[in-house]
Amino acid sequence: MIKEVEVSIYGAEQICASCVNLPSSKDTYEWLQAAIGRKFPDQKFSIHYYDIFHPPVDEEKNAFCKKIIEEDLFYPIVVIEGEIIGEGNPRLKTIYAEFEKYGYVSM
């Protein structure tokens, strides 16, 4: 059995100043959730959205939200199993490759 991968999307309602003309963070979250589900059907994964201006109680995720703001990182930021996989305009090919590293098989 493969490990259930955890995907975290960090972003905000307002679009990143450097990411004008790109989808919102929430739209990216919904798009990725659907795309990953289609690519790897019947293979469990968890995906969560975190608003960087309303951080969660979780200490680690809260600290990462602060880092995004302090370091002026482009958002949305896609994190898979604690590793940043994409910033601003994430690429599906990169995300799919990361899933395959964990044993997911595309259908």
The answer to whether 25 and 9 have CB atoms below 8 angstroms apart is yes
CATH number of the domain that residue 55 is part of: 3.40.30.30
Q: Is residue 87 part of a domain?
A: yes
3-state secondary structure of 63: helix
Residue 7 is given by DSSP the state E
Alpha carbon distance 5, 1 (integer Å):
12
Q: Is residue 86 part of a domain?
A: yes
Token duo for residue 17: 């100043």
Q: Is residue 33 part of a domain?
A: yes
Q: Is residue 47 part of a domain?
A: yes
The answer to whether 92 and 31 have CB atoms below 8 angstroms apart is no
- Predicted structure pTM score: 0.90
Tens digits of residue pLDDT in 13-37? 877 666 666 788 899 999 999 999 9
pLDDT at 1 over 60: no
- Residue-range definition of the domain harbouring residue 34: 5-101
